[in-house]
């Protein structure tokens, strides 16, 4: 039962353009969402998060949008840079209890390639 899904295994964009990575979830108990970035042979590193009381959170070139009714979130990277090439994982957790409390449930990841 895949509770967090990233349906695009890969995405290729040109440097300077926008990258949009998508994520869908099924568990309505999730109320905190994160994006992690992973380079080969390294552990994932935290990128940006959003709680369910918001629909947008921005940090520099990175913006996360949350659509609770659609159970969908997306990560926008503008402008994309070659150094952004990595695997991006979306993750979800429960803030207020339940079986998801404090634990992260991850999607399968999307490989982003930014071409110079």
19 vs 93 by CB, closer to other proteins = 93
Selection from 94, 85, 83 nearest residue 21 by Cα = 85
Residue 38's CB is within 10 A of a number of other CB atoms, namely 16
**CB burial readout 65-85, b (16+ within 10 A) else e:** bbeeeebebbbbbeebeeebb
At closest approach, how far in Å is the CB of 91 from other proteins?
A: 8
At closest approach, how far in Å is the CB of 54 from other proteins?
A: 13
**Interface contacts to other proteins, rule CB under 8 A:** 4, 6, 32, 36, 41-46, 49, 51, 89, 91, 93, 95, 99, 101-109
28 vs 116 by CB, closer to other proteins = 28
At closest approach, how far in Å is the CB of 116 from other proteins?
A: 27
22 vs 79 by CB, closer to other proteins = 22
32 vs 114 by CB, closer to other proteins = 32
Cβ atoms of 92 and 32 closer than 8 Å: yes
Residue 57's CB is within 10 A of a number of other CB atoms, namely 15
């Amino acid at each position: 039962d895949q509770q967090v899904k990233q349906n695009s295994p890969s995405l290729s964009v040109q440097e300077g353009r926008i990258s949009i990575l998508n994520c869908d979830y099924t568990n309505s108990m999730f109320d905190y969402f994160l994006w992690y970035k992973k380079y080969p042979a390294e552990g994932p590193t935290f990128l940006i998060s959003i709680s369910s009381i918001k629909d947008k959170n921005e940090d520099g070139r990175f913006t996360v949008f949350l659509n609770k009714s659609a159970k969908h979130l997306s990560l926008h990277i503008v402008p994309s840079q070659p150094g952004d090439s990595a695997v991006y994982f979306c993750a979800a957790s429960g803030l207020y209890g339940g079986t998801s409390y404090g634990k992260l449930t991850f999607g399968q990841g999307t490989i982003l390639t930014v071409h110079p």
